[in-house]
Structure 1
């Protein structure tokens, strides 16, 4: 657990006002082969740990490796989660049915994700930054007709390498230049907005 192994990381995220979401106990513990009881216990353990350290329960969940069992969505909804980032099928939030109610599928980027783009596909930092800019520009163009979400997934151990930072900075500066036309926010705020519609 990051709270025990590297407590300075959650402290920095907390000070910055970042949203903490459930993401399993470790990224090597997938949920797809767990029994319902094992998976329920995992979700409860992660939720309790976050609540203990953050003072509130998380409302969002992202399974390690986006791995789901046949009952993951049911268990998340029953545990009080309001959204998941495991289903990557749209550029808008989509309501999913579970056995106990609905759960929001929040867009999550598979391609505009540094682990996939840089580590798996071997794109250079510049190529990855170009992907970010092109994704953003096209979604901004399409958003003239409907609201869309443009998530970007970044991992400090990948894109945070000094030789990769300048290209990332250029991409983020490009996005920031459009600040008056976009809503820079967190998934929990998007979820709250969708729930009010």
Structure 2
């Protein structure tokens, strides 16, 4: 049977790949990636604290706005206290609406990652020219606020059209986090050249876990601990990437912040065994590995 295929990467089973190490001989990389989002008022799409089929009313808007008014600052205080570098998937509209955000992220040296204009829209249903415009607009606003153009991308709702990878590579992006197919990075093909897929979890991600599956903050903290303990053990056999995905309007709530902090302390108790980094730094390191080391790199 011939199924529809994407032709962006070839199959690769993780035990068959070459072995390599992260900097300093580490075998497990830790990425903490936070999503900073801005939503339209009473319009478009978006998350709702009550779960699926969200209603775009003042309650849903205000709950999400809590993330940029309060939750983000709770998370940044925690990341500072734990000395964790972070990357932020940022709606360009959030930087225009909330002028305090960009300077705070720049002061931490954190990475700005393209995340569309707003999470009130998705790009997977757009015409190619409209999607190109969205990508360029998001890139240019982030560059203005960060002082450097973003190199990574995560689409709103982790959604892509059939043309997204091509458009991103043509716009100067060098890695994406929209393809949760692996615990290692791998190269993908575009009409403009290769682009790297960096692992980004849809499992260890507070939005599907807490909003869609109605798990608790303590459930999520237990997921972090279990994921880490298992991946640390597995990393004795091969290098791996563990990503923890946060949203300020969800994990920035005080009652969820406390178990999150406890879980991250558990992880960081093993800091000497970890490469605690950002996705852009990981992508740079991978790009410097010999051809044939990373799946899809044979022809690079």
Q: TM-score, normalised by structure 2?
A: 0.65
User: Which structure's relative contact order is higher, taking Cα pairs within 8 Å and 6+ residues apart?
Assistant: 2
Give per-residue Cα distances to partners, 1:163-185, cap 9 Å, x unaligned: 11121111000111010000000
Asked if residue 183 in structure 1 is aligned to residue 284 in structure 2, the reply is no
Choose 7-16 or 168-177, whichever is displaced more.
7-16
Higher percent of residues as strand: 2
In the alignment, the residues of structure 1 paired with residue 208 and residue 101 of structure 2 have an alpha-carbon distance, to the nearest angstrom, of: 23
**In the alignment, what sits opposite 1:171?**
263
Aligned equivalent of 1:42: 134
Which residue, 70, 82, 97 being the options, matches 2:189?
97
What aligned pairs does 1:32-181 form with structure 2 within 5 A after superposition? 32-181=124-273
Contact 1:2 1:10 in 2 (8 A): no
Q: CA deviation at 1:104?
A: 0.5
Q: CA deviation at 1:137?
A: 1.1
TM superposition score normalised by structure 1 = 0.97
How far has the Cα of 1:78 moved from its partner?
Answer: 0.8
CA contact (8 A) 1:118 1:124 kept: yes
| Ranges in structure 2 where 5+ consecutive residues have no aligned partner | 1-92, 290-300
Runs of 4+ more than 6 Å apart: none
Deviation at 1:45, TM superposition (A): 0.7
Q: Could you tell me how far 1:116 is from its partner in structure 2?
A: 1.1
Higher helix share: 1
